[in-house]
């Protein structure tokens, strides 16, 4: 139901790299689970709205006020590669 190729595509969308053996194994497991999930498609949901949890009045908006943020050193303390107070990543092309 899910091909190895499709599994590779999903992995690519999710930024996971799979070797062929992994893709094969995941494809089989996804197929089984999707097969089980298939039962949902037969349920008549004509006119049924998607579920929404009950929400509180006023959409829970907040006032436009500032609270102290993080000091830069704190903010970047866990960053693997910091240069010039910025987060460095391998160079990439904008699109």
| Binding residues vs other proteins (CB under 8 A) | 2, 7, 10-11, 13-18, 26, 29-30, 32-34, 36-37, 39-41, 43, 45, 48-70, 72, 74-81, 83-92, 94-95
Token output for 80: 């693997």
Which residue, 20 or 81, is less far from other proteins as judged by CB?
81
Residue 11 beta carbon to other proteins: minimum distance, rounded to whole angstroms: 6
46 class by beta-carbon count within 10 Å (0-12 exposed, 13-18 middle, 19+ buried): exposed
Interatomic CA distance for residues 19 and 27, integer angstroms: 12
Residue 24 beta carbon to other proteins: minimum distance, rounded to whole angstroms: 13
Residue 5 beta carbon to other proteins: minimum distance, rounded to whole angstroms: 13
Centre a 10 Å sphere on the Cβ of residue 2 and count the other Cβ atoms it contains: 19
Q: Helix or strand or coil: residue 27?
A: helix
């Amino acid at each position: 139901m899910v091909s190895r190729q499709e599994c590779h595509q999903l992995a690519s969308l999710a930024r996971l790299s799979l070797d062929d053996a992994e893709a094969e194994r995941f494809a089989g497991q996804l197929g089984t689970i999707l097969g089980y999930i298939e039962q949902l498609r037969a349920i008549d949901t004509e006119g049924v709205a998607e579920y929404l949890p009950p929400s509180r009045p006023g959409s829970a908006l907040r006032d436009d006020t500032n609270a102290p943020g993080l000091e830069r050193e704190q903010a970047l303390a866990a960053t693997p590669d910091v240069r010039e107070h910025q987060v460095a990543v391998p160079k990439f092309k904008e699109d």
